Chain A
Amino acid sequence: MAGTTVSEQLKKYIQSMHDQGVLDYHFDHVKALQNEENPGFVMEVISMFSHDAEAAIANLTTLLNSPVVDFAKLISFVHQLKGSSSSIGGERMALACRQLRQACDNMDKESCLQIFERMKQEYNALRECLNVISQMERSIIVAQEQDPNVPSAF
């Protein structure tokens, strides 16, 4: 059945993301919250995360491009990104955020810029991973709507 195949593919994909360090166990906790009453929960959280992360990164870009960097504001956005990335299980991105926070605490603009680039790379990797997961989740939901006998992903 198509849905079963996608469910198995999803499990394998999530495991491979764990193996690569892109995701940690917090993502599994998020996934475990999904149930029959909220079959689109994971997709919804992923969407919220992406929206918040894009906004925070845009703000960080503006702040870091300023001639005089407001480190207090930087810290506020970095803190926000760290919280959301760790909550969704974005292990490597959360680590990059912690390192960026340290550079902000040291008021070291050069370090901030370097680490920010790395953090954006980690975000791009995480976003790609989460997009794949979202697509698979959507496929499973569609398959279940067409055939209620298809097993769910949760």
Chain B
Amino acid sequence: MVSGNSASSSSLSMKSDEDIVNNNNNLRVLVVDDSPMIRKLHDMYLKKFGLKVQVAENGKQAVDLFHFGASFDLILMDKEMPIMDGEEATKELRTMGVTSMIVGVTSLDSPNEKQAFMEAGLDYFFTKPLTTDNISFILQELNKKNNKN
């Protein structure tokens, strides 16, 4: 399930694994999820693509990181988390002026809940679990965005 601006997995191009890793060496990713297992899985998926990964256990930790001056190219944001959920954290980050790509990753079923999460300021939304195809797509879009800036 992919939602977002001009989301299309048909735009994937074939690259060697080494090319992909080399292209992504400077990209920093923040994984925000209260599940240690999900954080571990996403960390491994992303490192396979050569990305630098940091993790946060809830939305407040993610927001605090930005308050203290951290910056990330990509944020993978879970929805349901204690203390501050993903929707609230996304709104807060956008209010702060954060322009990182924010991708919602959640197992929500309700279309209304998904829409509300997207409207909080996500660039894309994926249903859990994230796959390597999803990550390839995200990185393609991220590289396009970075090339425009």
Contact = CB atoms under 8 A, between A and B. Distances in A.
Interface of A: 26, 29-30, 32-33, 38, 41, 44-45, 48-49, 52, 76, 79-80, 82-84, 86-88, 98, 101
B44 A87 contact: no
A33 B38 contact: no
Given A80-B80, A86-B128, A101-B109, A38 B44 contact: yes
Given A29-B132, A84-B35, A87-B129, A48 B106 contact: no
B80 A76 contact: yes
Contact of A41 (B44, B107, B109): B44
Contacts of B131: 26, 29
Given A45-B40, A80-B80, A87 B48 contact: no
Contacts of B4: none
Given A29-B132, A76-B80, A83 B35 contact: yes
Interface string B31-44: 00001111011001
Contact of B128 (A38, A52, A87): A87
Contacts of A26: 129, 131
B106 A33 contact: no
Contacts of B44: 33, 38, 41
Contacts of B109: 98, 101
A52 B37 contact: yes
B45 interface: yes
Interface in B94-149: 106-109, 128-129, 131-132
Nearest to B37: A48
Contacts of A32: 132
A9 to B, nearest CB: 25
A102 to B, nearest CB: 8
Given A26-B129, A80-B35, A84-B35, A33 B107 contact: no
Given A30-B41, A45-B41, A76-B80, A83 B106 contact: yes
Given A29-B131, A86-B128, A48 B40 contact: yes
A79 to B, nearest CB: 5
Contacts of B45: 33
B128 A83 contact: yes
A84 B128 CA distance: 9
27 contacts: A26-B131, A29-B129, A29-B131, A32-B132, A33-B41, A33-B45, A33-B48, A38-B44, A41-B44, A45-B37, A45-B41, A48-B37, A52-B36, A76-B80, A79-B80, A79-B108, A80-B80, A83-B107, A83-B128, A84-B35, A84-B38, A86-B107, A87-B37, A87-B38, A87-B128, A98-B109, A101-B109
